[in-house]
Structure 1
Amino acid sequence: MSALSNSPLAAHVGKHPGEPNMMDPALLTDPFGGYGALREQGPVVRGRFMDDSPVWLVTRFDDVRQVLRDQRFVNNPTAPSLGHSLQENPMVRLLDMMGLPEHFRPYLLGSILNNDAPDHTRLRRLVSRAFTTRKITDLRPRVEQIADELLARLPEHAEDGVVDLIKHFAYPLPITVICELVGIPEADRPQWRKWGADLVSLQPERMSVSFPAMIEHIHELIHERRRALTDDLLSELIRTHDDDGGRLSDVEMVTMILTVVLAGHETTAHLIGNGTTALLTHPDQLRLLRDDPALMPRAVHELLRWCGPVHITQLRYASEDVEVAGTPIRQGDAVQLVLVSANFDPRHYTDPERLDLTRHPAGHAENHVGFGHGMHYCLGATLAKQEGEVAFARLFAHYPEMSLGVAPEQLERTALPGSWRLEALPLRLG
């Protein structure tokens, strides 16, 4: 696994013995075991955020869900109800450490992810029409077509009989789908993938260059699209802004495009990579899926639980004094909800370490927190589930004899706190 040793964030590791830091190597290399041990230590554990500020880690399933739906915890790091100055906020300090100029802060701090009601409700309503169940269902034939085209070309990318699924399928599928939905031109999509990688790298020299370039690009895209509006999400946001600027500001429009495109492909790409690895290393479960293709929706939910790409939520903050699982949380305190430990909580699951594609009953509510819960439940969850279903079904239909190109223990993962992603997934197509 690659290291973050040259990141300024790594300098804080070990400064506070007994308080786990999200940059601790044990949590980066084995988040399942590391956060699992914290879960058994207690439902709420005092730890350290990436900037070394104190944070409460909520580790167990029931408590994670409770906090996710508790509106006394807010997402907005600048909310007046927190009772602290802007410079005391860990997210602001993190942006400073990453070298982002102050005038770019609103594009990150003001996103739909960092807003609470009523602003969150307003922004979500503006974009949710693009992600309705009906619209996503109508999109499925196009998703299948894109998947089939990418899979047919996989052999062209093979070297010595091995092809990287992350580079040539797991990323191109969701980025093509979300860019078509939003209205990002095909020629710009490779650049978006690079920008996305730079933003999650936690490397100041990459972030400080790519983020301003991305914001400038979106402004240019909006300017160009105004001259020829279409039926994509970008055009819809422009119409909303121009018809009633009070409902959507310039910064909000740019931030919405940024958030939807990045969130719409980064996590799905790694769900496909992680899920493919899980199925190939659990042939009994893959056989179940091949024998019963109708199992696929349940299988995707289990893969989201067992090897989902997102292990923590963004920070939430107590807007008043509150108690979680018997632990007093003070107004303004930061709280980190640990999805990976919740999804393996033996208090909620029988034999949680076992991958079981039949675990989640068909037609029942989600029995995991891979997409979060409550008001901030993932806006693109329906699209991500569909892309996962299509990706796994089409991949194993095209290449039924596919196998890993290296031993499982040789697969390299990117060392990013709260994220579970492969650097590459070498496969032999059979």
Structure 2
Amino acid sequence: MTAAGQAASAVPEIELTAEVLRDPFAVYGRARERAPLGRLLIPGLGPVWAVLRYGPAKAMLGDPRFQPSSASFMRPGVPGDCLPYMTTMTERPAPEHARLRRLVSPAFTPRRAAEFRPRVQAVVDALLDALPAHAGEDGVVDLLRHFAWPLPMEVICELVGIPEAGRPVWRECGAFIAAGAGRGFAESLPGVIAGARAAVARRRREPADDLLSDLVRAQADDGDRLTDTELVTMVWHLVLAGQTPANLIANAVAALLSHPGQRAALRDEPGLMPRAVEELTRWCGPTLLSIPRYAREDAELGGVTVREGEGVVAVVAAANRDPRAFADPDRLDVTRAPGPAAHLGFAHGPHFCVGAALARVQAEVALTTLLGRHPGLSLAAGDPVPAPDPGVWRPSALPVRL
């Protein structure tokens, strides 16, 4: 048997069982220690290659031979008139993706995210002001429903410049995305796209200090113009992509409340928060699996030949706890110093999350303010029950006592 054949025969098969949904870090971790690649059986998508170790996962995410495509995304129930707006930047071929990313990246720099921090702080303060009113007679409030879920949508509406009167449909769509309710998302999508069109038209007439005005200027000033369809697509896609901080914040709160020593370290040294957000993203970030990519040609990965057209996912949950890249990787340590290996919670390479800087700012502001206002915050029902979502690590609810 050839070396490639021996490698293929050692590949573990991983089914998305209840055990995987309950503790993906343990299940994927065991598979990672058996082989660098596995075969993941995903209902509706079929078997795909699962890259389990940090080195091959990072290499695959940065390799132009592995690209997302329209097959990477499922759109059940999306109305026909919305379909022209459904091909996002992520799905575009490499040259088009690079063109669009070059046009929009200036609106998402760390500097712009830092400038937006006061507006994030205002949203966080308003949500926390209202939080006690949502508590039941027993003093328990669902932090997921009343804080983590609405926060990113309010931030996005501020960022894009959606007026208060136009926000209800955006909030509805965001709630469906956060809850994994695909049908509800499809039903609310036309309203969001109509709102995006209206917002673009308004910012053409009335520029302001927001992301949408930046995009409109990019369309008008740059030789590689955004088309109107691309611009509206970019705006509504913020709704989808911008929900990541909701689950990151919820996971982070649960982790810190379950690790009182880590919470105490942050209380004693608040300046650790940026480092803590990186560690929490590594240790319990919401992304379990990357968006599927497809091999454009036969390519070797982790000692296995991936054939042209075959699907590949990076198992972020395994790669971010790979002992080959991180010391004592299963231990949460908010004081962990940056090392040579950066976590893959925001992906890597050409498709690195364009909104990562804004997500970090939201998490930092939310966690700092929440823990500062409610030093006695505690879990009301033990560790949260994970939602049955194979791609996203998130709680079904986050009941706490303030």
Is the TM-score greater than 0.5?
Answer: yes
Correspondence 1:248 to 2:226: yes
> For residues 25 and 326 of structure 1, do their structure 2 counterparts lie closer, same or farther at Cα, with a shift above 3 Å needed?
same
Matched, 1:268 2:245: yes
Whether contact under 8 Å (1:19, 1:46) holds in the other structure is yes
Separation in 1 of the partners of 2:41 and 2:228? Answer: 35
SS for the counterpart of 1:336 is: strand
Residue 62 (structure 1) shift: 0.8
Structure 1 residues 359 and 76, CA gap change in structure 2 (3 angstroms): same
What is the aligned partner in structure 2 of residue 38 from structure 1? 31
- Provide the C-alpha distance between the structure 1 equivalents of 2:182 and 2:114, rounded to a whole number of angstroms: 40
Counterpart of 1:82 in structure 2 is none
Distance 1:349 1:75, change over 3 A: same
Cα pair 1:295 1:358 within 8 Å, conserved = yes
In the TM superposition, residue 294 of structure 1 has moved relative to its aligned partner by 1.6
Query: Quick one: distance in 1 between partners of 2:392 and 2:329?
Result: 19
Aligned counterpart in structure 2 of residue 183 of structure 1, from 142, 155, 161? 161
For residues 117 and 385 of structure 1, do their structure 2 counterparts lie closer, same or farther at Cα, with a shift above 3 Å needed? same
**Alpha carbons 1:360, 1:366 under 8 Å: kept:** no
The counterpart of 2:18, out of the listed 21, 25, 31, is: 25
CA drift at 1:113: 1.6
1:240 to 1:356, Cα distance in 2 relative to 1, 3 A = closer
Distance 1:142 1:104, change over 3 A: closer
- Alpha-carbon distance change, 138 to 229 in structure 1, aligned in 2, over 3 angstroms: closer
Q: Please, which moves more after superposition, 241-250 or 173-182? A: 241-250
Cα distance, 1:190–1:167 mapped onto 2, change above 3 Å: farther
Distance across 2 between alignment mates of 1:295 and 1:171 = 24
Q: Is the 8 A contact 2:54 2:320 kept in 1?
A: yes
Counterpart for residue 376 of structure 1:
351
CA spacing shift, 1:60–1:207, aligned 2, 3 Å: same
Q: 2:372 aligns with which of 397, 402, 425?
A: 397
- Is the partner of 1:153 in helix, strand or coil? helix
Query: SS of the residue aligned with 1:323?
Result: strand
- Higher mean alpha-carbon deviation, 158-167 vs 331-340, is at 158-167
Aligned pairs for 1:319-334 within 5 A: 319-334=296-311
**Greater shift after overlay, 233-242 or 132-141?**
233-242
Aligned partners of 1:43 and 1:63 also within 8 Å: yes
- Report the CA distance between 1:21 and its aligned residue: 4.3
1:281 to 255, 258, 267: 258
Name the stretch that deviates more: 378-387 or 36-45: 36-45
Q: Does 1:418 align with 2:391?
A: yes
Q: Which digits, 9 at most, give the CA deviation of each residue in 1:156-182, with x for residues without a partner?
A: 222121222122222333322222111
2:65 corresponds in structure 1 to 72
1:427 matched to 2:367: no
Counterpart amino acid of residue 389 in structure 2: L
Matched residue, 2:200: 222
Q: Is the 8 A contact 2:169 2:191 kept in 1?
A: no
Q: Structure 1 residue 339: deviation in Å?
A: 0.4
TM-score, normalised by the number of residues in structure 2: 0.88
Query: Which string of whole-angstrom CA distances, capped at 9 and with x for unpartnered residues, describes residues 226-281 of structure 1?
Result: 443333222333444466796212321121111223322x1101111110111111
The separation in 2 between residues aligned to 1:102 and 1:42, in whole angstroms, is 43
For each residue in 1:307-359, what CA deviation from the matched residue of structure 2 results, as whole angstroms up to 9, or x when unmatched? Answer: 10111111111111100011001111111111011111122223222111122
1:385–1:240 distance in 2 versus 1, CA, 3 Å: closer
Q: Give the C-alpha shift of residue 305 in structure 1.
A: 0.9
CA apart distance, 1:223: 3.9
The match for 1:10 is none
- Residue 360 of structure 1 is matched in structure 2 by 337
User: What amino acid is the match of 1:388?
Assistant: A
Gaps in structure 1 of 5+ consecutive residues: 1-17, 78-88
Partner SS state of residue 189, structure 1 = helix
3-state DSSP of counterpart to 2:14: coil
> What pairs up with 1:10-409 in 2 under 5 angstroms?
19-22=13-16, 24-77=17-70, 89=71, 91=73, 94-95=74-75, 98-101=76-79, 104-108=82-86, 110-160=87-137, 161-199=139-177, 205-241=183-219, 247-264=225-242, 266-361=243-338, 367-408=342-383
Larger mean CA deviation between 255-264 and 244-253 belongs to 244-253
CA contact (8 A) 2:104 2:218 kept: no
Q: SS of the counterpart of 1:54? A: strand
CA deviation after TM superposition for structure 1 residue 289, in Å: 1.2
Contact 1:174 1:268 in 2 (8 A): yes
What CA distance in whole angstroms lies between the structure 2 residues aligned with 1:384 and 1:215?
Answer: 23
TM-score (norm 1): 0.83
The one-letter code sitting in structure 2 at the alignment partner of 1:60 is R
Give the conservation status (yes or no) of the 8 Å contact 2:89–2:100: yes
| Displacement after TM superposition at 1:102 (Å) | 5.6
| Alignment correspondent of 2:3 | none
Secondary structure of the equivalent of 1:20?
strand
CA deviations on 1:38-70 (whole Å, 9 max, x unpaired) are: 323321112233414231111111111111111
3-state SS, counterpart of residue 116 of structure 2 = helix
Q: 1:403 to 1:221 in 2, by over 3 A?
A: same
Give the share of equivalent positions with the same residue, in percent: 47
Is the partner of 2:396 in helix, strand or coil?
A: coil
CA-atom RMSD in angstroms: 2.4
* Distance 1:105-1:31 versus aligned 2 partners, 3 A rule: farther
Per-residue CA deviation, residues 174-205 of structure 1 (Å, 9 max, x unaligned), is 32222211112233334223213434666564
Q: Distance in 2 between matches of 1:152 and 1:100?
A: 36
CA apart distance, 1:366: 5.9
